[in-house]
């Protein structure tokens, strides 16, 4: 297991979201779950907590995560990830799904 | 969620949302609570925020229910300490509040990484289920995925008042691979899917009376089946248990020596095996009723 935490600068999330938290994905082989919650501080950063069963890929993780808050205003969110060997594209996809559910609801 | 989605392809949360009245579900101990397994963490295995079980209260057809759905993709939906405690608590709450409880099953049984805790949790949940039944509070198990209900969860599902199955669903105690390991490939070939589903699948379980409804693999059909059972209960009494024991003895006598599942179907009144194999769940149920 490898654990790490990093905050990435980002524009603040919209004041109103459909939900206060959202979950995407499931902890299965080659998959991961991403929990996005609003209300974390500071409002200008996306606070990421990763726990992965496969150690040694921190650089890839940080690259995949850093990309997200460039494209979406995600400041003031806390992102927690439980990973069981998901590829980087899936990390981005799940993050977007969770973010989408948070801001727009699950419809 | 669209009504056309196949139930067995949905996630646990999607299944609940598709079954209950719109926006009526309130999750208890949701992921932000981070109630995760302490055992998996010690073993270096990734944990899940809900420990593989979604529980909460909702309304179905305007009636209050408690509902739980297992997450089959997370360690096979297996029951660990937290998962089991959530399950026990939900059924205890159902008994206390006299609110029907629906369990959407997708589990291979106890999680081996925390075996003792899981076994105890299943025993405690069974006790809570019997508490519900003593108070005539309906308990309904839905078995609709190919992970099915096995091991302790297989037993637990048969403790509930009713079981709703689809043809994808499977119900048993030892899983097919386990039976093959113990009895040999000749006795039971676990890679023969037709054999596996004909011995433990929804159609056979319905025929033998272990499942109370056999429905389409869709939320609408499953909701209708649950709604019909919500007002009923199947209380445990000594005569009922004795009758059930007799029934099972009779079944063992009739089919105990049979190696061919088709023979069981035939003896249970299915005449056209090929047509019955191809029939959908409800078609099959209708055929079985008419004695075809």
Q: B130 near B236, Cβ under 8 Å? A: yes
Q: B174 near B142, Cβ under 8 Å? A: no
Q: Cα–Cα distance between A93 and B264 in angstroms, integer?
A: 48
Q: What is the mean pLDDT of the segment spanning B28-43?
A: 95
| 32-91 of A, contacting B, C-beta below 8 A | 33, 35, 37, 51-53, 80, 82-84
If DSSP codes are grouped into helix, strand and coil, which group holds residue A75? Answer: strand
Q: Could you say which of B34, B47, B71 has the minimum Cβ distance to residue A26?
A: B71
What mean pLDDT, rounded, does chain B reach?
A: 94
- Is the reported ipTM for this assembly greater than 0.85? yes
Is B9 in the A-facing interface, judged by CB distances under 8 Å?
A: no
Residue B1 confidence class, pLDDT cut points 50, 70, 90: very low
Q: Could you say which of A1, A26, A35 has the minimum Cβ distance to residue B73?
A: A26
| 44-63 of B, contacting A, C-beta below 8 A | 44-49
Asked if B13's CB is within 8 angstroms of A23's CB, the reply is: yes
pLDDT digits (tens, 9 = 90+) for B239-256: 999 999 999 999 999 999
Q: What is the mean pLDDT of the segment spanning A56-67?
A: 95
Q: Cα–Cα distance between B12 and B56 in angstroms, integer?
A: 12
pLDDT of residue B235: 85
The fraction of chain A above a pLDDT of 70, given in percent, is: 99
Sign of CA dihedral B109, B103, B76, B262: positive
The yes-or-no verdict on residue A106 having pLDDT over 90 is: no
- What is the b/e burial string over B121-130, where b = at least 16 CB atoms within 10 angstroms of the residue's CB? bbebbbebbe
Residue B271 confidence class, pLDDT cut points 50, 70, 90: confident
pLDDT digits (tens, 9 = 90+) for B134-172: 999 999 999 999 999 999 999 999 999 999 999 999 999
Q: How much is the pTM?
A: 0.94
Q: Which of A72-86, B131-145, B248-262 has the lowest mean pLDDT?
A: B248-262
- The arrangement of strands across the sheet holding B139-143 comes to B26-28, B53-60, B63-70, B101-105, B139-143, B162-166, B213-215
Q: B265 near B204, Cβ under 8 Å? A: yes
Asked if B46's CB is within 8 angstroms of A82's CB, the reply is: yes
Q: Are strands B63-70 and A21-25 parallel, antiparallel or unpaired?
A: unpaired
Q: What is the mean pLDDT of the segment spanning A71-91?
A: 96
pLDDT of residue B107: 97
Q: Cα–Cα distance between B80 and B86 in angstroms, integer?
A: 10
Q: How far is B222 from chain A (nearest CA, A)?
A: 21
pLDDT of residue A3: 95
Looking at CATH, the fold of the domain delimited by B7-171+211-233 is given as 2-enoyl-CoA Hydratase; Chain A, domain 1 (3.90.226)
- Counted across chains A and B, CB pairs separated by less than 8 A come out at 44
pLDDT of residue B230: 94
The yes-or-no verdict on residue B39 having pLDDT over 60 is: yes
The yes-or-no verdict on residue B3 having pLDDT over 70 is: no
Residue B222 vs residue A105, higher pLDDT: B222
Q: What is the mean pLDDT of the segment spanning B39-47?
A: 93
Interface test with B, best of A24, A27, A84 (most B CBs within 10 A): A27
Asked if B71's CB is within 8 angstroms of A31's CB, the reply is: no
Tokens of A98: 């969770």
Residue B289 confidence class, pLDDT cut points 50, 70, 90: confident
């Amino acid at each position: 297991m490898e654990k790490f935490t990093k905050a990435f600068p980002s524009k603040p999330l919209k004041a109103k979201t459909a939900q206060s938290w959202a979950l995407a994905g499931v902890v299965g082989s080659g998959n991961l779950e991403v929990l996005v919650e609003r209300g974390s501080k500071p409002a200008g950063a996306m606070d990421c907590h990763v726990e992965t069963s496969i150690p040694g890929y921190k650089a890839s993780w940080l690259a995949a995560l850093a990309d997200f808050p460039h494209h979406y205003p995600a400041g003031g969110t806390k992102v927690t990830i439980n990973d069981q060997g998901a590829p980087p594209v899936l990390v981005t996809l799940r993050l977007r799904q969770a973010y989408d559910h948070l801001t727009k609801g699950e419809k | 969620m669209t009504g056309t989605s196949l139930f067995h392809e949905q996630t646990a949360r999607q299944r609940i949302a598709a079954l209950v009245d719109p926006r009526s579900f309130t999750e208890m101990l949701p992921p932000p609570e981070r109630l995760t397994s302490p055992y998996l963490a010690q073993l270096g295995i990734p944990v899940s925020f809900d420990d593989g079980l979604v529980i909460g209260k909702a309304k179905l057809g305007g009636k209050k229910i408690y509902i739980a759905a297992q997450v089959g993709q997370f360690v096979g939906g297996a029951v660990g300490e937290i998962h089991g405690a959530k399950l026990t608590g939900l059924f205890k709450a159902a008994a206390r509040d006299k609110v029907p409880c629906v369990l959407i099953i997708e589990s291979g049984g106890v999680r081996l990484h925390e075996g003792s805790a899981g076994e105890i949790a299943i025993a405690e949940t069974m006790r809570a289920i019997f508490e519900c039944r003593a108070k005539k509070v309906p308990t309904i198990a839905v078995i609709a995925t190919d992970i099915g209900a096995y091991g302790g969860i297989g037993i637990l599902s048969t403790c509930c008042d009713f079981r709703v199955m689809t043809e994808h669903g499977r119900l048993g105690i030892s899983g097919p691979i386990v039976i093959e390991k113990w009895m040999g490939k000749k006795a039971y070939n676990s890679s023969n899917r037709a054999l596996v589903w004909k011995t433990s699948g929804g159609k056979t379980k319905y025929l033998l009376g272990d499942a109370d409804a056999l429905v389409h693999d869709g939320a609408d059909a499953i909701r209708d089946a649950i709604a019909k059972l919500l007002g009923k209960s199947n209380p445990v009494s000594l005569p009922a248990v004795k009758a059930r024991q007799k029934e099972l003895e009779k079944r063992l006598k009739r089919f105990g020596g049979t190696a061919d599942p088709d023979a069981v179907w035939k003896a249970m009144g299915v005449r056209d095996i090929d047509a019955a194999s191809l029939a959908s769940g409800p078609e099959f149920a209708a055929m079985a009723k008419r004695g075809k």
